[in-house]
């Protein structure tokens, strides 16, 4: 529907201003929750958005903004953030930010001295009254009728009552449902004491355990001691140097890197895993390439019949989702119940322990990865072989050369150059072949005597995953530091790949 030009010209800036205001409001809300980094990212995104969609100079960027923005925020930023985490002690022990850890401590309460009250809730219309009975003296108090909700802290006053409350008391089930609301209540007693919920049917005096002082230290009201944040360890500490949970994230500089390269209990598994990662990636490329190329050569043979049938069948492993075929192999290779061992047992009377012997586990991984990867190489090689001029083979036939000579003197030399960048990218892919290892062996069997669990079949990528998400401790910081090291290795591989690509494209000219 055509819109009057004047209206259109007017609508655009109004919309932008509105969007900007709403955006700023949301950013403020986010900032208020203490997530300043998130608020900053949102603010920058909002500013870019407003600028790009109002300035006439940035027309091209209007098309780029959504896509490039998403790529920057959800791909590039996480990588930079990984590097950042590598310099912190972020782990399950030091999970919270400093502000949140402080907040957590400031919300802690302790049971103070004073009378305990048995509490019940009684209805009055749609509202409820909280009845409090002193457990020792039997004196009865009650609050004014209140609405149960929302779940926000509030203070009520209780007064002594003479008449008993009429309504039936609230059953346990409903009490549990309203627990969050009830826990937020503070009741002022006539004697000036403050009581809070300490059990489902009990109120008692409880006080805030800590208050914050000007210099950032916390005073513990229970034993009058002073807690100070230690920014080196990421904990609040008592004067005696004892750490108080929860810990918070703090910068520890290069400590993780120093550990990885000097602490023998981390360095040795790291080096072993690195060696296996390179071996695995290289052997995977070699096996898939060899099998794929042999098949490509055979399937390019004109005299062979049923080629399309073979091609379709041999392409199958590539079409099946990896997470399914890898798990199928995990079951088939199972030491006791797997079909492969049943066949091997029937034929040769052997029962290899594919999952507990490190060497056999590695062999299994390479077998599975070859199964998964050769179709790709086959398809690529077939395409390249197609491009070789036929008269080369005719000439060699005239010279009396056989198929083996043809392969090594004509086919291989001609396809290896355009193949090189693809081989490097295949190497890079297998270098970080997380899915295969994580689903097939999970890195196990483990290396003995390591401070952090490490597996004989772990790749660097799965090793960091285990440090971060699987084994106890969730050492995100250390894992991120190792990830950063892997980033550098991948960068080196990528540089080699870019050079190789350049060389091949220069040759073509």
Partner 1 sequence: MAIVIDKSQRWRLLAAHAFLILLCALVIFPLVMVVSISLRPGNFATGTLIPETISLEHWRFALGIPSPGPDGQMIKPDLPVLLWLWNSVKVATISATLALFLSTTAAYAFARMKFVGKKAALLGLMLMQMFPTVLALIAIHAIFSRIGHVFPLFGVDSHWALVLAYSGGIALHIWTIKGFYETIPAEIEEAATVDGATPWQAFWRVLLPMALPILMVIFLLAFIGAIIEYPQASILLRSQDKLTLAAGMKQFLYPQKYLWGDFAAAAILSGLPISIVFILAQRWMISGLTSGANKG
Q: How many CB atoms lie within 10 A of CB 29?
A: 11
Q: Shortest approach of partner 1 to residue 346 CB, angstroms? A: 10
Q: Which lies closer to partner 1 via its Cβ, residue 195 or residue 380?
A: 380
* Ramachandran quadrant class, 204 (left: phi over 0; alpha: psi -120 to 50; beta: rest): beta
Q: Which lies closer to partner 1 via its Cβ, residue 220 or residue 325?
A: 325
Q: Shortest approach of partner 1 to residue 332 CB, angstroms? A: 6
Q: How many CB atoms lie within 10 A of CB 491?
A: 10
Q: Shortest approach of partner 1 to residue 409 CB, angstroms? A: 14
Q: Which lies closer to partner 1 via its Cβ, residue 38 or residue 282?
A: 38
Q: Shortest approach of partner 1 to residue 263 CB, angstroms? A: 20
Q: Which lies closer to partner 1 via its Cβ, residue 10 or residue 77?
A: 77
Q: Which lies closer to partner 1 via its Cβ, residue 204 or residue 482?
A: 482
Q: Which lies closer to partner 1 via its Cβ, residue 141 or residue 465?
A: 465
Q: Residue 283 CA to chain centroid, in angstroms? A: 29
Q: Shortest approach of partner 1 to residue 171 CB, angstroms? A: 29
Helices H / strands E in the chain, number of each: 19, 13
In angstroms, the CA 165 to CA 362 distance is 75
Q: Which lies closer to partner 1 via its Cβ, residue 180 or residue 494?
A: 494
Q: Shortest approach of partner 1 to residue 180 CB, angstroms? A: 16
Q: Which lies closer to partner 1 via its Cβ, residue 306 or residue 348?
A: 306
Q: Shortest approach of partner 1 to residue 84 CB, angstroms? A: 8
The answer for residues whose C-beta is within 8 angstroms of residue 409's C-beta and 6 or more apart is 396, 401
In angstroms, the CA 277 to CA 439 distance is 16
- 235-237, strands of its sheet edge to edge: 210-212, 218-220, 226-230, 235-237, 243-244
First to last CA, the chain: 52
Give the H or E element holding residue 122.
Answer: strand 117-124
What are the DSSP E strand ranges found in 194-266?
194-199, 202-208, 210-212, 218-220, 226-230, 235-237, 243-244
* 487 and 76 Cβ atoms separated by less than 8 Å: no
In angstroms, the CA 147 to CA 62 distance is 51
Q: What crossing angle do the helices spanning 476-508 and 412-431 adopt, rounded to 10°?
A: 160
Token output for 178: 């309203």
Q: Shortest approach of partner 1 to residue 228 CB, angstroms? A: 26
Q: Shortest approach of partner 1 to residue 333 CB, angstroms? A: 10
């Amino acid at each position: 529907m055509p819109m009057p030009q004047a209206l259109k010209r007017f609508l655009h800036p109004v919309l932008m201003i509105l969007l900007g205001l709403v955006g700023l409001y949301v950013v403020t809300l986010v900032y208020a929750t203490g997530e300043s980094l998130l608020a900053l990212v949102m603010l920058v995104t909002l500013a870019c958005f407003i600028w790009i969609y109002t300035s006439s100079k940035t027309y091209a960027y209007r098309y780029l903004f959504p896509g490039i923005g998403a790529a920057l925020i959800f791909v590039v930023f996480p990588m930079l953030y990984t590097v950042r985490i590598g310099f912190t002690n972020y782990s399950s022990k030091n999970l919270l930010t400093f502000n949140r850890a402080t907040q957590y401590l400031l919300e802690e309460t302790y049971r103070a001295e004073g009378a305990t009250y048995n509490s019940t809730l009684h209805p009055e219309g749609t509202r409820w009254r909280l009845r409090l009975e002193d457990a020792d003296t039997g004196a009865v108090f009650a609050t004014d009728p209140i609405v149960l909700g929302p779940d926000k802290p509030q203070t009520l006053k209780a007064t002594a009552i003479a008449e008993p409350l009429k309504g039936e008391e609230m059953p346990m089930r409903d009490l549990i449902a309203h627990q969050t609301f009830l826990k937020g209540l503070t009741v002022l007693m006539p004697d000036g004491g403050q009581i809070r919920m300490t059990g489902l049917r009990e109120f008692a005096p409880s006080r805030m355990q800590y208050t914050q002082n000007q210099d950032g230290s916390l005073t513990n009201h229970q034993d009058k001691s002073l807690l100070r944040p230690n920014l080196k360890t990421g904990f609040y500490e008592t004067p005696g140097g004892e750490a108080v949970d929860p810990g918070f994230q703090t910068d520890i500089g290069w400590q993780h890197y120093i550990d990885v390269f000097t602490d023998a209990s981390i360095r040795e598994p790291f080096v072993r895993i690195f060696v296996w990662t390179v071996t695995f990636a290289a052997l995977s490329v070699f096996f898939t390439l060899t099998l794929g190329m042999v098949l490509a050569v055979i399937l390019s043979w004109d005299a062979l019949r049923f080629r399309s049938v073979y091609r379709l069948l041999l392409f199958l492993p590539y079409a099946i989702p990896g997470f399914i075929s890898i798990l199928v192999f995990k079951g088939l290779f199972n030491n006791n119940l797997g079909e492969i061992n049943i066949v091997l047992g029937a034929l040769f009377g052997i029962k290899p322990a594919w999952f507990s012997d490190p060497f056999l586990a590695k062999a299994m991984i390479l077998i599975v990865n070859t199964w998964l990867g050769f179709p790709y190489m086959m398809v690529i090689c077939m395409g390249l072989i197609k491009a070789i001029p036929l008269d080369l083979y005719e000439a060699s036939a005239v010279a009396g050369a056989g198929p083996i000579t043809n392969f090594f003197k004509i086919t291989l030399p001609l396809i290896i150059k355009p193949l090189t960048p693809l081989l490097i990218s295949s190497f890079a892919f297998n270098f970080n072949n997380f899915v295969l290892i994580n689903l097939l062996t999970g890195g196990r069997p483990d290396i003995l005597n390591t401070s952090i669990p490490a597996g004989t079949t772990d790749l660097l990528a799965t090793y960091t995953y285990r440090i971060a998400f699987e084994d106890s401790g969730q050492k995100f910081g250390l894992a991120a530091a190792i990830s950063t090291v892997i980033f550098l290795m991948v960068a080196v591989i990528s540089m080699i790949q870019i050079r190789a690509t350049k060389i091949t494209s220069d040759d073509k000219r």
